[in-house]
Amino acid sequence: MRFVAAIIASLLVAASLSAAPTPESTCITCHSMLDGKLADPVKKFESAVHRQVGLSCADCHGGNPADESMDSMSPAKGFRGVPRKTQVPEFCARCHSDIAYMHRFDPKMRADQLSQYLTSVHGKRLKQGDTKVAVCVDCHGVHNILPASDTRSPVYPVNIASTCARCHASEEHMRSYNIPTDQVSSYEKSVHAEILAQGDTAAPTCATCHGNHGATPPGVSSVANVCGTCHVFFEQLFNKSPHQPAFAAMGLPGCVQCHSNHEIVKPSDDWVGVGQDSVCATCHSQGDKGYTGAQKIAGDLANLKTRLARAEEILNTAERSGMEVSSAKVELGSAHEALVKARVNVHAFDDAEVQKLTDEGAQVSEKAYQAGVAALNERDVRRKGLGVSLIAIVLAISGLYLKIRQIESRPKT
């Protein structure tokens, strides 16, 4: 069927070429007249980055695009046709691994995609003959390949999770690998996905932690390093903490142990301590040092939050009463900062370090609270003063009124 269609197409082309000048690429001329799968590449190629930089079908598929006959697609003319799936990485790499060639289009372009891919689980399994794994075209598309910076590209940050989900959320596809399929649905509940959805393309998505071309799940020992690429300070604190060697010895992944891997929700202060939602209590039990430390840290954080809320409430009340408390409100900002720092320092798992910061914040909160008390006292003094003044004014008005009455009741002379 395909052969008959190709013959009809070449006859049509021959007829049209007899009247028109020879086009630059006969591939497009012929394929645009075909139906279905054979015409599909022409439509898709229209918006492709490869077309935009001046490449043609023959640059990938070979052959002679100037030749109007079917000979143009003969192996003798260098026609490579459609590569098999196992050939795709090398097919793309003919150009994408040639740094000199790639720099003609973009001096910042990398040329290590193939070497990275071969280190990935995808690449390794492909080499073993597993054709279910992802190759270049599974993620980037085939003929309609767009730059990763294009919002329509499947590898644009906002689209990456759904691109990975095409395989990783498919139970059928993943059945033979015996790996879970809830990564993307979990990720979608995470704070990372929330930030990404708000348009912050710097927010982490699958490729940020797993790599893109060299996609590999981070091992137990490297989780902290992966998270630490963004959360640098947290990583430093964790590595200095007593948890680091303990986790390593027990074979527990660092950050993931408390924060989960894909469903990284916004942490809560309730995670610290020994309460119902505590993550500390999953390992520590009453009587051990960690349990006491967690209790102490949770208490200090709660104390600072209570003091902050109290100071904020009184300052807001004073402000609503028209009192000028903006300086105290600005100062209270440093107590908020102390709370943030204390929360970060929880990752050092050293209650004395946390207490230093919460004490500092509590002191500032207390000062702001006292400023609020003073403002409300001042407000009350003003209102009392107003009351006294109004009494004096009413008395003066009454006196004037009586004086007028007295003057006007005198008989006129």
Partner 1 sequence: MPGIYRRILKWLDERFGAGAVEEFLRHKTVPIHRHSIWYYFGGMTLFLFVVQALTGILLLLYYRPTPNDAFESIQYIVTQVPYGWLIRSVHSWSANLLILTVFIHMFSVYFLKAYRKPRELTWITGMFLLFIMLGFGFSGYLLPWNTLAFFATKVGTEMAATVPLIGPWLLKFLRGGEEVTGATLTRFFGFHVAVLPGLTTLLLAMHLLLVQRLGMSVPPGVERAIEEGRQPARSMPFFPNFLLRDMIGWYAALGVLGALAAIFPWELGTKADAFASAPAGIRPEWYFLFAFQTLKILPAKILFLEGELAGLMGFTLAGIVWVLVPFLDYKAGFGRVTRFFTGLGIFALGYMVVMSALALR
Within 13 A of 240's CA, how many CA atoms are on the CB side? Answer: 11
Among 37, 178, 408, 409, binds partner 1 (CB under 8 A): 408
The 3 state secondary structure assigned to 280-334 is HHHCCCCCCHHHHHHHHHHHHHHHHHHHHHHHHHHHHHHHHCCCCCHHHHHHHHH
Among 400, 409, 411, 413, binds partner 1 (CB under 8 A): 400
- Least separation in angstroms between residue 201's CB and partner 1 is 24
Token duo for residue 297: 């840290």
> For residues 53 and 390, which CB has a smaller minimum distance to partner 1 in the complex?
390
Q: Which is nearer to partner 1, 152 or 382 (CB)?
A: 382
Q: How far is CA 307 from CA 109, 260, 310, 323, 361, in A?
A: 53, 31, 5, 21, 9
Name the residue nearer to partner 1 (CB basis): 104 or 403.
403
Phi, psi of 172 (to 5 degrees): -65, -45
> How many residues form the binding site for partner 1 (CB under 8 A)?
21
403 touches partner 1 (CB under 8 A):
yes
Token reading at 56: 């043609």
Smaller CB distance to partner 1: residue 184 or 315?
315
Instruction: Please identify, among the stretches 50-58, 177-185, 186-194, 382-390, the one whose residues bind partner 1 according to the rule CB under 8 A.
Output: 382-390
* DSSP one-letter code for 80: -
Alpha helices in 120-261 (DSSP H): 121-127, 136-140, 157-168, 171-174, 183-188, 191-197, 206-210, 223-228, 232-240, 243-250, 254-259
The answer to whether residue 385 forms part of the interface with partner 1 (CB under 8 A) is: yes
From residue 312 to residue 351, what is the string marking binding to partner 1 with x (rule CB under 8 A)? ----------xxx-xx------------------------
Nearer to partner 1, 311 or 325 (CB): 325
- For the chain, the first-to-last Cα distance in angstroms comes to 132
Cβ atoms 58, 67 nearer than 8 A: no
- Sort residue 54 into left (φ over 0), alpha (ψ -120 to 50) or beta: left
Q: Does 180 bind partner 1 (CB under 8 A)?
A: no
Instruction: Between 103 and 403, name the residue whose CB sits nearer to partner 1.
Output: 403
Give which of 14, 118, 113, 115 is closest to 71, Cα–Cα.
14
> Pick from 8, 20, 70, 397: which binds partner 1 (CB under 8 A)?
397
Asked if 127 interacts with partner 1 (CB under 8 A), we say: no
**Dihedrals φ, ψ of 212, to 5°?**
-100, -70
**Binder among 383, 409, 410, 413 for partner 1 (CB under 8 A):** 383
Choose which of 14, 82, 179, 393 interacts with partner 1 (CB under 8 A).
Answer: 393
Question: Of 111-119, 183-191, 277-285, 387-395, which part binds partner 1 (CB under 8 A)?
Answer: 387-395
Query: Nearest approach, Cβ of 366 to partner 1 (angstroms)?
Result: 19
Q: Binding to partner 1 by residue 171, rule CB under 8 A?
A: no
CA–centroid distance for 404 within its chain: 79
Choose the binding region for partner 1 from 21-29, 261-269, 290-298, 392-400 (rule: CB under 8 A): 392-400
Using CB under 8 A as the criterion, which residues of the chain lie in contact with partner 1 when the complex forms? 322-324, 326-327, 382-383, 385-386, 389-390, 393-394, 396-397, 400-401, 403-404, 407-408
